[in-house]
Amino acid sequence: MHENNKIHKVVIIGSGPAGHTAAVYAARADLMPVMFEGFMAGGVAAGGQLTTTTEVENYPGFPEGISGPELTDHFRAQSLRFGTVIHTETISQVDLSKRPFQLWREGMENEPPVLASSIIIATGATAKRLNLPGEETYWQNGISACAVCDGALPIYRNAPLAVIGGGDSAAEEATFLTKFGSRIFLIHRRDTLRASRIMAERVLKNPKIEPVWNSVPLETKGDTKKLTSLVVKNVQTGDIRELTVGGLFYAIGHKPNSDPFKGQLEMDADGYIVTKPGSSFTSVEGVFAAGDVQDKRYRQAITAAGSGCMAALDAERWLEGH
């Protein structure tokens, strides 16, 4: 049980690269951090988006690559080694208007809150998925929500690939994938891209990218081990066609896991927590944000880890003055 009257110096909410890096730095600074790693928070296991990634080839220090869950296990073991106390629970509500800050655990909202002098929010963002028929079977076996993370993997090389979306991220992912795939289908439900003009022009000029306009995906198919095709429907004509593809990439956005903090912290229009430039400071003194919950631009494990380090150092310095 929690010592409900104890005020923790630092409480970390979230357990991806940002949360665990913050924990390692905070623990080594004798701040005795307490982490709530989440229990299927945002529909994802503790450890966050990395746990849904089979092969991580772009995290420094692992020249042979490492699986997402294994990398997460390394992060967790390192946090524990330096004394981080980890609870496999989700924080569902917070009150940032009082000092110490108050946090409630999911399913235990009627019990006394956890108390904290400072909070590091590292709850991440969850890639939006379409939940198409066959998606669960072929997730990470041909279907991904991150071309930059997965596009260079051997299964996608010299294969026809599909990207779903019409904004800047879809245009960027399609362009990025031309380095690896033989041909890229860009599937969009309208007949023009929402992407900025320069990105849209780059896509339309690229001979390897074939736009599939006015179309929506209906179903993913494969040989039970790997994706082999995508069924799409033209929303204007009703025509249905099956595209032979070895990879499908969602570029339809992410949802930052920031709901418990709405109305208490400054956020942008998409729900990302706003941090002061060059720091992890949020709009509330003593509350810091790191990783994908405040980063809509990069969203990589390594940038999340870096911002987790920043948050711990910022929190340590802030606590010294309070």
Catalytic annotation, residues = 146, 149-150
> CA-to-CA distance for 278 and 237, rounded, in angstroms?
50
Task: Using CB atoms within 10 Å of the CB of residue 274, give its burial: 0 to 12 exposed, 13 to 18 middle, 19+ buried.
Answer: middle
Q: Are strands 254-256 and 125-127 parallel, antiparallel or unpaired?
A: antiparallel
- With H, G, I as helix, E, B as strand and everything else as coil, classify residue 21: helix
From residue 183, alpha-carbon distances to 156, 186, 194, 213 in Å are 11, 10, 21, 16
Q: Which residues pair with residue 121 across a beta bridge?
A: 13, 289
Q: Which residue has the tokens 């990395």?
A: 50
Residue 30 Cα to chain centre, angstroms: 29
> CA-to-CA distance for 20 and 38, rounded, in angstroms?
13
Element (H, E) at 48: none
> CA-to-CA distance for 69 and 75, rounded, in angstroms?
10
Dihedral of the alpha carbons of 255, 301, 101, 113, in degrees to the nearest 10: 80
DSSP percent split of the chain into helix, strand, coil, nearest 5: 30, 25, 45
